[in-house]
Amino acid sequence: MIVRKTLKGLRRQLDQAKKEGKTIGFTPTLGALHQGHVSLINRTVEENEISVCSIFVNPTQFNEKSDLKKYPRTFQADSKLLKEANLDILFFPSANQVYPKGLNTKVKVNLGGLDTLMEGGFRPGHFEGVVQVVKRLLDMVQPDRLYMGQKDFQQFTIIQKMINELKIKTELVVCPIVREPHGLAMSSRNERLSKETRKKAKVIFNTLSEIKANLNDKSPEEWMEWSMKKLKRKPFNPEYVSIVDGHTLLPVKSFRKHKYVVVCAAVWADDVRLIDNVILKNNSK
Ligand code: AMP
């Protein structure tokens, strides 16, 4: 595995690969890697001739400065994991490389309101930062395929919209959610939970799964109310549970009228904000 910290170094490597007609797969991350990330890396390595992963804690997507400061940085352990996964290139740029002075990296794109719902409502400016960094990283890496997790459902939906709108020649590959043995979706933020809360946090996945198992017992609205109540037990406090159309992310009134429906939730566990989702139905393929 080669580590590149500058755009120049990265391009030297990738231009050569492109000249040789090799396919490039890319997984962007914030680091503090876990098995969820590794599943994306494994796909990237398997499906492409050259695999690239970036570690960059992007300041523009953190609406809370304290969250940015608290974000775990574990470069040594991360690079060990990536090496073991047979990654070819680890891109580890500084903020100056991603956002050099004088370069306008703001992205003008019509996201059709996808960025204002759910996470967008509670984390103002978050998706603007995500779109900015992913576009900039795509410009830098120029991959054939981009790998993202279903864990961040709204994020990949927005990135797919950006790719379509800007006619970017990269295919988005979405990978399933990897969970801890009890069901909690893996996240770098799980490390900040106490042992007890981490165990109890299976209630999030259990609640969302119960909706899926008994879908037609209640209307979407009733299920949302039911799950908000179920998740409002110390140390948990739900910010939202939304049952939405998987394409538009707008709340659904009936399950029957939609082919693709997903339930998304954001829940505080003590002072840690966790997100999760479960696809309730998908007949749109
Ligand atoms: P992050 O470092 O949190 O920005 O995540 C980098 C990528 O890994 C994103 O595309 C996430 O959706 C994905 N990811 C994070 N957690 C998981 C998980 N538990 N399972 C699958 N993918 C994940």
How many separate domains does the chain show?
2
Pairwise CA distance, residues 23 & 125, whole Å: 33
Q: Does residue 98 form part of some domain?
A: yes
Quote the domain boundaries for residue 88: 2-175
Q: Does residue 245 form part of some domain?
A: yes
Q: Does residue 181 form part of some domain?
A: no
pLDDT in tens, 61-109: 998 899 899 899 999 999 999 999 999 999 999 999 999 999 999 999 9
What's the CA-to-centroid distance between 217 and ligand 1, angstroms?
32
Q: Which residue from 57, 74, 148, 174 has its CB within 8 A of the most atoms of ligand 1, so it is best to mutate?
A: 148
Q: Does residue 106 form part of some domain?
A: yes
Closest CA to 58 of 67, 49, 48: 67
Indicate if 205 and 155 belong to the same structural domain.
no
Domain harbouring 197, CATH code: 3.30.1300.10
Pairwise CA distance, residues 51 & 44, whole Å: 6
Q: Does residue 284 form part of some domain?
A: no
Pairwise CA distance, residues 211 & 206, whole Å: 9
Pairwise CA distance, residues 131 & 176, whole Å: 21
Output the ligand 1 site: residues, CB below 6 A. 29-30, 36-37, 39-40, 148-149, 151-152, 175, 177-178, 185-188
Pairwise CA distance, residues 199 & 134, whole Å: 33
Angle between helices 35-47 and 75-84 (to 10 degrees): 40
pTM: 0.97
Q: Does residue 180 form part of some domain?
A: no
Indicate if 273 and 143 belong to the same structural domain.
no
Is residue 167 helix, strand or coil?
coil
Give me the count of residues in the chain: 285
What's the CA-to-centroid distance between 142 and ligand 1, angstroms?
20
The residue whose C-alpha atom lies closest to atom 17 belonging to ligand 1 is: 36
Indicate if 194 and 161 belong to the same structural domain.
no
The residue whose C-alpha atom lies closest to atom 11 belonging to ligand 1 is: 149
DSSP per-residue codes, 118-146: THHHHSTTHHHHHHHHHHHHHHHH--SEE
Indicate if 130 and 252 belong to the same structural domain.
no
Instruction: State mean pLDDT over 33-50.
Output: 98
pLDDT in tens, 208-227: 999 999 999 999 999 999 99
Answer with the one of 118, 141, 175 that is the final residue of a domain: 175
What's the CA-to-centroid distance between 277 and ligand 1, angstroms?
13
Q: Which residue from 152, 160, 198 has its CB within 8 A of the most atoms of ligand 1, so it is best to mutate?
A: 152
Indicate if 159 and 193 belong to the same structural domain.
no
Indicate if 196 and 140 belong to the same structural domain.
no
Indicate if 129 and 157 belong to the same structural domain.
yes
